[in-house]
Structure 1
Amino acid sequence: MSVDWTKCNGCGTCVDNCPVVVFELQDLQHYPDSKKSVPVRAEDCILCISCVNSCPTGAVTMEE
């Protein structure tokens, strides 16, 4: 999966909906206005796409 940080509003919906805790909200240097979702444990992803379906801005996508 990947996160488009220009679309991510830092709401944490993907963090809350991921059953295996792939994401964390972090402060990123180039985006000082809000925290951004970062897939810190991508290797744990079970491909359930809860993060993709729950993201209100379409920032989280699943790569093929």
Structure 2
Amino acid sequence: MYLFGDAELTDSELEVALPKLALIEETYGDRDFLILEIVAYLRSLGRYLEIGSSAAHWSETRKLTN
């Protein structure tokens, strides 16, 4: 199961979200073939971390490279 986004859910929020995520996965099926496209898109938005980077969050990437 993939979840893209910045999510810090409480236990009760997670309990509500999990069935919805399961329904999405059941409806749309396996999306592994999209991984490279997703990665390219996120990089184009500047939302990535370099391997070995000291950044803890994608938003720090630009700070380290500028």
Larger Rg: 2
**TM-score category (smaller protein):** under 0.3
TM-score of the aligned structures, taking structure 2 as reference length = 0.22
Higher strand share: 1
Higher helix share: 2
Structure with more relative contact order (C-alpha pairs < 8 Å, separation 6 or more):
1
TM-score of the aligned structures, taking structure 1 as reference length = 0.22
